[in-house]
Structure 1
């Protein structure tokens, strides 16, 4: 975690600089990148230090009921917001790529693009109740994971179908889908083992399943959060030029009309 955080946090800051300097030119398909990186950055600087302290000393610091209640609220609210924003982003990418007329006016962009994403950012977990554990797992893990998987598979199929039939500007559409497909693959690698193992434990109460969950699978989503800003940075166009102000040196040819005197013969 220390190694990944030392890379991911500077990458996140560079992404914020990029979007600040591009604030007047940011396109709709880049909003998902910005929101996801903000969420990951907030969790890395707020939640991860307490988790690292717990893993180091094997106790919660500070060990008070109010802090534990706040920590649980933050963790579960963040997880719900993070996974549902990605799920909606997977649907939203279909609208941006194949139905961009829905974003033709400011009102339509608010209704079909901004409002659903804001709604996904407003979960609230006051505290855990055993009677709603199954509902919480299905509603906030299984359903959004299924949406992410199905929506991105459908996105790939639609773009490749247009490529096969040489219809539309499929190359531009493929470029718009590659970032989201990369994030979806990371979600499948990090979230599916945890979700499947959780289902196994719910129906078998296997101690092996519990051990795998607590020692390994529980930390996979945290790896996703730390890798996501690094991956996001790769997909930002003209990143070096905008953030670091790199400019390509241009060689200006001399004036062709300027004639140098001919050399005298010896």
Structure 2
């Protein structure tokens, strides 16, 4: 099990640059009209804001907890807020990412489905809003208005244990629908997107369309790959524990795999920055990495022509 000191510095090293990067990307995605109106950027923006809010709340609280070696007395309402933020934001991120891998097929190969305002409302905006509200309402009930009394304990860094998870039916639904099911959806639809784009490139031979497909595909695959790589070890160990394949080795690995999943939010802004080509161009412009070529020769030639004309005019006069 990693020590509190190791956890503290591991998170802090990534957290500060991640917050700065997330603020930078959020600014350009929200205030640049072209980037803001691009449909494929909407779910990216929502995921970015979810991660940023979590970093500025949960991750700060985690650092305080690790700094004081777990000796931190907290009120019940604070524990409920922390538990809600920690789990609701993470599950919302996961479910929206799963939907994004499905929607990317629509945006790339069936753009007529979102060609009108009404179609965009039904196919693009409505699922995004409904999934977001579903996750938040679901966990508001779990943490703030449960049908039983939640259990509070100061020993863990999340000092609340929702009582409703004691119900086998409810806990299994939450486990399968919110944790296990989104993972294969993300994997299957991401791979299918890559395969379809490759075949589409060979069939159409349209460079302009291919560049469009490539940008949208690279963006989605990069985000999905980050989630799959960091979540897969935890998923495998959790499934083994669920089916009573519990060994001493699994019990030792589980805390490490759990802690690794907490790097999904801090690393997400960097993946966004690398996968958004329009944003990279803006960063290059800001850092003056792309400067326009100086046209000294043309300016000098133009100046000499003007001087000659001026001299000719004086002579003729």
Using structure 1 for the length normalisation, give the TM-score.
Answer: 0.89
1:264 corresponds in structure 2 to none
Task: Give the C-alpha shift of residue 159 in structure 1.
Answer: 0.7
* 1:24/1:172 CA distance change after superposition, 3 Å: closer
SS in 2 for 1:121: helix
SS in 2 for 1:248: coil
Bigger mean CA offset, 98-107 vs 17-26: 17-26
Q: Which has the larger radius of gyration?
A: 2
Bigger mean CA offset, 198-207 vs 166-175: 166-175
1:5 corresponds in structure 2 to 15
2:306 corresponds in structure 1 to 258
1:67 corresponds in structure 2 to 78
In the alignment, is residue 153 of structure 1 matched against residue 153 of structure 2?
Answer: no
Q: Any unmatched runs of 5+ in structure 1?
A: 262-266
Any conservation in 2 of the 1:84–1:120 contact (CA below 8 Å)?
yes
Task: Give the C-alpha shift of residue 43 in structure 1.
Answer: 0.5
2:146 corresponds in structure 1 to none
1:120 corresponds in structure 2 to 131
Q: Pick one of 10, 20, 34 that aligns with 2:30.
A: 20
Q: Output the CA distance in 1 between the equivalents of 2:68 and 2:84.
A: 22
Q: Output the CA distance in 2 between the equivalents of 1:176 and 1:227.
A: 19
1:197 corresponds in structure 2 to 237
Q: Output the CA distance in 1 between the equivalents of 2:287 and 2:26.
A: 13
Any conservation in 1 of the 2:222–2:275 contact (CA below 8 Å)?
no
Q: Output the CA distance in 1 between the equivalents of 2:40 and 2:285.
A: 18
Structure with more contact order per residue of length (Cα contacts < 8 Å, sep ≥ 6): 1
Task: Give the C-alpha shift of residue 7 in structure 1.
Answer: 1.2
Any conservation in 1 of the 2:47–2:93 contact (CA below 8 Å)?
yes
How many residues are paired up?
261
- CA RMSD after TM alignment: 2.4
* 1:176/1:62 CA distance change after superposition, 3 Å: same
Task: Give the C-alpha shift of residue 37 in structure 1.
Answer: 1.0
2:283 corresponds in structure 1 to 240
Q: Which has the higher helix share?
A: 2
Post-superposition Cα deviations, 1:31-75, rounded to whole Å, max 9, x if no partner, equal: 122111111100000100111222232326342222222211221
Using structure 2 for the length normalisation, give the TM-score.
Answer: 0.75
In the alignment, is residue 209 of structure 1 matched against residue 250 of structure 2?
Answer: yes
Any conservation in 2 of the 1:14–1:243 contact (CA below 8 Å)?
no
Post-superposition Cα deviations, 1:84-134, rounded to whole Å, max 9, x if no partner, equal: 110011011101000001111111111111111112222132243122222
Q: Pick one of 185, 206, 210 that aligns with 1:170.
A: 210
In the alignment, is residue 139 of structure 1 matched against residue 177 of structure 2?
Answer: yes
Q: Output the CA distance in 2 between the equivalents of 1:21 and 1:51.
A: 31
Q: Pick one of 217, 222, 227 that aligns with 2:262.
A: 222
